[in-house]
Amino acid sequence: MELKLEAVTVEFHRGERQRHQALKEVTFSLQAGEAVALLGPTGAGKSTLLRVRAGLVKPTAGRGSGRQDGAVALAIQEPDRGFFAATVREEVQFGPDNLGLSNKESAARVDWALQLVRLPVAKWEVSPFQLSGGEQRRVALASVLAMRPRILLLDEPTIGLDRAGKEALIFILQRLIKEEGIGVLIASHDPDFLYAVTRRVLLLEQGVLRADGPWGRLGEDLASFAALGLKLPLLLAVLRELKAAGAPVNPEQDSAAEAKEELRKLLRHQREGVVYN
C-alpha cells in the first residue's frame, strides 16, 4: 500500500478576513514497511499533515490517495483524552468490534496488540485511567494496532515517556516495520528517537515541505537545522564533529544502527594504530 499527498494545501479561517495556510502544496509518498520522520519547528504544520492523512482534516486544495477503512490510523498526543471504556481490554477491543469482526477475531486482535506493546496481562482488566502515562500510551497504541492498519501515523509519541519508555517504543515500532510491514510516519521533536526508528526525513517549515531525504544527506546542512531551532540526532552530530576533526569516518549514515557501526569502526581503527589529524 502507498500513502500519497499531491500538492495538498490546508487553510484555516481566522475571522471573516484572515486566513492561515497550515500546509502549502505539500507532496510526498510513503510505502508500507517504510519509516519516515516528520520534523519541523512548532507551528510548521506537522500535526495538520497527519490529520489530513487520517481523514480528520479536509484539504483546501490538492488530493491524497491510499486511504481505505482502517488502512491508515492516527495515534494522538494525549491518549488519555480519548479513553472511555471501563477496562483496557474493552478500550482496545472497541475498534475491532466496529469493523464487524466476530467476537473471537476481535479478542484475538486485542491479545495480539496488547502483547505486542508489552503491557502486562495483569493490567488488561483494569481501568486505563489507573495506568501510568507510559502505560496509557501503550494502550492507545494497542487500540490503533488492533485495527491492523497498513500505515501508522504518530504525533509526538514520546511526550511523557522516560528513557525506558522510549526504548520500549523503539523496539515496538522496529518490530512493526520489519515483521508486520507497517509504514510509519512520526512527528516528533525528539531527533534521537526519530533517528533510531526512521531512515528518511520530511522537513516542514511554515507549512512548506523544505526537504525530503535520508538522514545522512539531510544532516549536511547544520545551519538550516539550527536556524529552525532543530537539532541533529546526537550520533549524527558526533560523526560530523569527528569528520571535521579529521577522523576517518563517513558521517552520512541514515540510521542510528549505521551510525553506531561507523563509530565502532573508528574504535577498531584506533586500536589498530590508525592516526588522524
* pLDDT, tens only, 175-191: 999 999 999 999 999 99
pLDDT in the model for residue 222: 66
Whether residue 277 has pLDDT greater than 60: no
User: Looking at the predicted structure, is the pLDDT value of residue 197 above 70?
Assistant: yes
| 178 and 137 in a common domain | yes
229 falls in which pLDDT band (50, 70, 90)? Answer: confident
Residues 179 and 82 both lie in one domain: yes
* One domain, residues 48 and 83: yes
**Are residues 144 and 43 part of one domain?**
yes
60 and 194 share one domain: yes
| 199 and 275 belong to one structural domain | no
**Same structural domain for residues 186 and 271?**
no
253 with 116, same domain: the answer is no
What is the tally of structural domains in the chain? 2
Sign of CA dihedral 84, 85, 88, 92: negative
pLDDT for residue 50: 92
Encoded amino acid at 93, one letter? Q
**pLDDT at residue 213, rounded to an integer:** 92
5, β-bridge pairs: 28, 64
* Mean pLDDT rounded to a whole number for the chain: 89
Examine the pLDDT at 219 and tell me if it is beyond 70.
no
- Residue scoring higher pLDDT (150 or 219): 150
Q: Is the pLDDT reported for residue 80 higher than 80?
A: no
Residues 193 and 257 in one domain: no
Residue-level pLDDT at 70? 62
Give yes or no: residues 92 and 118 share one domain.
yes
The predicted pLDDT at position 206 comes to 93
**Above 70 in pLDDT, residue 42?**
yes
CB 235 within 8 A of CB 256: yes
| CATH code for the domain of 58 | 3.40.50.300
Report the pLDDT value the prediction gives residue 269, as an integer from 0 to 100: 78
44 with 145, same domain: the answer is: yes
Q: Are residues 237 and 227 in the same domain?
A: no
| DSSP H helices in the chain | 46-53, 88-97, 103-116, 133-145, 163-179, 191-197, 215-218, 222-227, 234-244, 256-271
CA neighbours within 13 Å on the CB side: how many for 107? Answer: 3
Nearest CA to 207 out of 34, 81, 1, 42 is that of 42
Cα 32 to chain center, whole Å? 14
Domain that holds residue 273: 233-277
pLDDT of residue 188: 93
